Amino acid sequence: MQPARNPDGEDARLESLWRLDVLDTPREERFDRITRLAAHVAGTEIALVSLVDRDRQWFKSSVGLDVQSTSRDASFCAHAIHDAGPMVVEDATDDPRFADNPLVAGAPNIRMYVGHPIHAPDGAPVGTLCVIGRSPGTLDPATMDALRDLAALVEIELDRDRLTESERELRGHLEDARRRLAVDPLTRMWNRPAIERLVRTEYERAKRNMNPLAIAFLDVDHFKSLNDTHGHLAGDVALREVAARIRRSIRSYDACGRWGGEEFVLVMPRCDLNHAMTVAERVRAAVAQRRIDVGEAMVPVRVSIGVAACAPDDDLLPRDLVHAADTALLRAKSTGRDQVVAAESVVPTA
Q: Which residues are catalytically annotated?
A: 262
Amino acid in position 237: V
Residue 211 CA to residue 204 CA, distance in Å, equals 10
Whether 307 contacts 215, CB under 8 Å:
yes
Residue 172 CA to residue 319 CA, distance in Å, equals 24
Strand partners, 258: 264
Whether 89 contacts 95, CB under 8 Å:
yes
Between 192-209 and 318-334, two packed helices, what is the crossing angle to 10 degrees?
120
Strand partners, 340: 305
